[in-house]
């Protein structure tokens, strides 16, 4: 349908918050300017922690903190890597409101990570990477299981399966 290409999801077991940083940094190595990452998962799942790891991988200087109250934060990359646009879409009703933030040009030159972005994915058009973070049923278990799945031509033929074999320890 309309050229949407589905790539098999990659499942990654992420044991700790630091491992989520390592995972985000490894994912960032696969990302380029214009890419959109939609991070989903419950409150406290680790979406912001993932964004911090992606920021680390892009060489972002300074803290990547939740953009809940400002909706979006921009961070410059370093070493020739793209910057990071970090969006919290929880209070955005639609992709139109995201576009109203006037981020389009910035997004072309950066990796955009959108927390709570799953609901606006269809409106964004183009390609995106879904990163779905699941907590354990057991509240004492910090392990997260992450599903990474590319949608659209950008991700056709991109093999993300090495992400499931990261050495976290």
Per-residue binding letters, 55-74, with ligand ADP (x by CB under 6 A) = -----------x--------
Cα–Cα distances in angstroms (integers) from residue 78 to residues 23, 74, 87, 156, in the given order: 19, 13, 20, 27
Q: Does 17 bind ligand ADP (CB under 6 A)?
A: yes
Other Cβ atoms within 10 Å of 94 Cβ, number: 12
> What's the CA gap between 38 and 131, in Å, rounded?
6
How many whole angstroms from its chain centre is CA 51? Answer: 6
Q: Does 40 bind ligand ADP (CB under 6 A)?
A: no
Q: Does 148 bind ligand ADP (CB under 6 A)?
A: no
Among positions 25, 28, 48, 60, the unique one binding ligand ADP when judged by CB under 6 A: 48
Q: Does 24 bind ligand ADP (CB under 6 A)?
A: no
37 close to 54: Cβ distance less than 8 angstroms: yes
Q: Does 144 bind ligand ADP (CB under 6 A)?
A: yes
Q: Characterise 57 by phi-psi region: left (phi > 0), alpha (psi -120 to 50), beta (else).
A: alpha
28 close to 57: Cβ distance less than 8 angstroms: yes
- In the complex with ligand ADP, the residue whose CB is nearer, 15 or 125, is 15
Q: Does 20 bind ligand ADP (CB under 6 A)?
A: yes
Q: Does 66 bind Mg ion (CB under 5 A)?
A: yes
Among positions 7, 22, 45, 148, the unique one binding ligand ADP when judged by CB under 6 A: 45
Interface contacts to ligand ADP, rule CB under 6 A: 14-17, 19-20, 41, 43-49, 66, 115, 142-144
């Amino acid at each position: 349908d309309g050229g949407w290409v589905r790539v098999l999801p990659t499942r990654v077991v992420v044991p700790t918050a630091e491992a989520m940083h390592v995972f985000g940094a490894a994912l960032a190595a696969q990302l380029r300017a214009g890419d959109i990452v939609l991070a989903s998962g419950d409150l406290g799942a680790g979406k912001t922690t993932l964004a911090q790891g992606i920021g680390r991988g892009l060489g972002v200087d300074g803290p990547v903190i939740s953009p809940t109250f400002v909706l979006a934060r921009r961070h410059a990359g370093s070493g020739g890597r793209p910057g990071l646009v970090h969006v919290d879409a929880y209070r955005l009703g639609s992709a139109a409101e995201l576009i109203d933030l006037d981020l389009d040009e910035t997004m072309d030159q950066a990796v955009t990570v959108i927390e709570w972005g799953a609901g606006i994915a269809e409106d964004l058009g183009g390609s995106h990477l879904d990163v779905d973070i699941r907590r354990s049923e057991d509240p004492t278990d910090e392990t997260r299981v992450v599903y990474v799945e590319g949608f659209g031509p950008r991700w056709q033929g991109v093999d993300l399966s090495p992400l499931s074999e990261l050495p976290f320890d």
